[in-house]
Amino acid sequence: ITVSSWTSTSRWPCGYNAMGFSQGGQFLRAVAQRCPSPPMKTLISIGGQQQGVYGLPRCPGESSVICDWIRKKLNSGAYTDVVQKHLVQAQYWHDPLNDDLYKKHSLFLADINQERVVNETYKKNLQMLDKFVMVKFLQDTVVDPVDTEWFGFLKTGQAKETETLQESVLYKEDRLGLAAMEAAGKLHFLATEGDHLQFTEKWFNENLLPYLR
Ligand SMILES: *[C@@H]1O[C@H](CO)[C@@H](O)[C@H](O)[C@H]1NC(C)=O
């Protein structure tokens, strides 16, 4: 997680821009939703898992029987209180086959994604962003499913087919204000070639730096 720059405006306190790498992407979004002062202006999520993960690094569950078996087994432990509180990855474990368990016991992700209740404060705070930029790595072998980097995920009740953010209930019911943000031109979806967090300085300078100016 890096806080990349402070922008000075005529009024004090100033706002700031934030850039989160990998899990830093979803953790900084929680900061935007929970801590509105000073205001975050631009949030850049680089390979972040905005809808969590259902899989292990380099173990693609949709194409490998053993990987699929492991992730199914993992679920039973992921939502126990002790694991939720002490294992950071469990904070964004999202099992589409056990939607009720996820909604009920995921302390972090289900909370910031408004799965239990719609917290109007979260919704209002997130919409204070000027820009929410999400970067997806097209050959990512670490994050499963990679759609989560653009806020998509697996469709509920199965573990093969994915849906985009725009196809999700979260978006259609606008539980987090993302549909309103997209209508206002605040959502930016970028894709780049390469595995997880693999990008060139040239790509960074051309594509991300302009958001930080
Ligand atoms: C909504 O979020 C705010 C900010 O984190 C928190 O203070 C409040 O208790 C939350 N309300 C509900 C209903 O969860």
Q: What is the pLDDT of residues 125-139, one digit of tens each?
A: 999 999 999 999 999
Tell me whether strands 2-7 and 15-21 are parallel, antiparallel or unpaired.
antiparallel
The verdict on whether 140 is a catalytic residue reads: yes
CB of 119 closer than 6 angstroms to any ligand 1 atom: yes
Identify the domain containing residue 131 by its residue range.
6-212
- Report if residue 1 sits inside a domain: no
pLDDT at 104 over 60: yes
CB of 122 closer than 6 angstroms to any ligand 1 atom: yes
Name all contacts of 58-64 with Cβ < 8 Å and 24+ positions apart.
58/141, 58/142, 59/144, 60/141, 60/144, 61/144, 61/159, 62/144, 62/145, 62/159, 62/160
Dist. CA 205 → ligand 1 center (Å): 37
pLDDT of residue 148: 98
Q: Region 80-98: what's the mean pLDDT? A: 86
Question: CATH number, domain at 52?
Answer: 3.40.50.1820
The verdict on whether 22 is a catalytic residue reads: yes
* Protein residue with least CA distance to atom 14, ligand 1: 119
- Report if residue 52 sits inside a domain: yes
The verdict on whether 45 is a catalytic residue reads: no
How many domains, in total, are found in the chain?
Answer: 1
As to burial, measured by CB atoms within 10 angstroms (0-12 exposed, 13-18 middle, 19+ buried), residue 86 is exposed
Q: Region 103-118: what's the mean pLDDT? A: 95
Q: Which of 140, 144, 147, 168 is catalytic?
A: 140
* Protein residue with least CA distance to atom 5, ligand 1: 34
Stretch among 19-28, 63-72, 122-131, 176-185 having the lowest mean pLDDT: 63-72
- Report if residue 134 sits inside a domain: yes
- Report if residue 80 sits inside a domain: yes
Instruction: Give 172-206 pLDDT, tens digit per residue.
Output: 999 999 999 999 999 999 999 999 999 999 999 99
- Report if residue 133 sits inside a domain: yes
pLDDT of residue 14: 77
- Report if residue 155 sits inside a domain: yes
35, 121, 123: which to mutate for ligand 1, most atoms within 8 A of CB?
Answer: 121
